[in-house]
Amino acid sequence: MKRLAIIPARGGSKRLPRKNIREVAGRPMIAHAIACARNSGLFARVLVSTEDPEIAAIAAAEGAEVDRRDPALADDRTGVVEVCRELLARLEAAGDLPDLFCCLYATAVFLEPADLVAAERRFHEPPMPEVVMGVSAFPLHPFKALEERDGLLLPVHPDRVLRKSTEYPRYLASNGTFYWARSRRFLERPSFYVDRLAGHEIPYYRAIDIDTEEDYAFARLVARGMLRS
């Protein structure tokens, strides 16, 4: 079975400029993602999709292949679904479409190769999903959500907020680490939210979605704690 890792890494992040190559634990964030993919032993190819020369140079130095992304697919409006679809369509046209691909986020710095291996294994076990995504439990349950209106806070779920937390259902959410998918089915229906969706759970402290300066500061603190342990 042929597997491909796609690491989308555009250079124009607005909320956290140059986030994909900011350092965590002494290395650019994308270097951790590339190492995770390569060390998993799963992938025939690890491709970094970028329009940015500096990101491309770092990716190549870390042992990844670089797919030079069309700048039209590197703006704020283009998501990873469009990036993966365009790349896979080109591979299909060249007769090189993988059976499975993993869209791995460049900022998934605490992901471990074992996570990718365990998630890929789900494709070979009932109920045979079409997509497997990295998920984490909510640290604060959504039933406790409050909405601000006219300077006051109102419960979003007034009929549930006063229940004991032990009575709450367990909710999971995509955590911005990775999406595995069957390539041909993805091209037929380009979405990671499909009917046959499964998840691989990752503790929240290893699944920090790094989009802001606060996220970045927290990730660096977690990295220091991990290095000391």
CATH number for the domain that contains residue 19: 3.90.550.10
pLDDT at 228: 65
Report yes or no on 140 lying in a domain.
no
Domain count across the chain: 1
| Residue appearing with tokens 């046959």 | 196
Side chain identity, residue 161: V
Whole-number Å distance between alpha carbons of 227 and 210? 19
Q: Cα(172)–Cα(201) distance, rounded to whole angstroms?
A: 8
Token pair listed for 53: 């020369």
Rounded distance, CA 100 to CA 81, Å?
Answer: 15
Distance (Å, whole) CA 75 – CA 64: 23
pTM across the whole model:
0.95
CA dist 30 and 25 (Å) reads 12
Q: Is residue 168 part of a domain?
A: no
In a domain, 51, yes or no: yes
Query: Does residue 167 lie in a domain region?
Result: no
Low-confidence stretches of the chain (pLDDT < 70) are 227-229
- For residue 148, tell me if it sits in a domain: no
Host H or E run for residue 35: helix 29-40
Residue 156, in any domain of the structure: no
CB burial string 29-65: b at 16+ within 10 A, e below = bbbbbbbbbbebebbebbbbbbbbeebbebbeebebe
pLDDT at position 76, please? Answer: 84
Determine the structural domain holding residue 218 and report its residue range.
Answer: 3-135+173-228
- Between CA 135 and CA 165 the distance in angstroms is 20
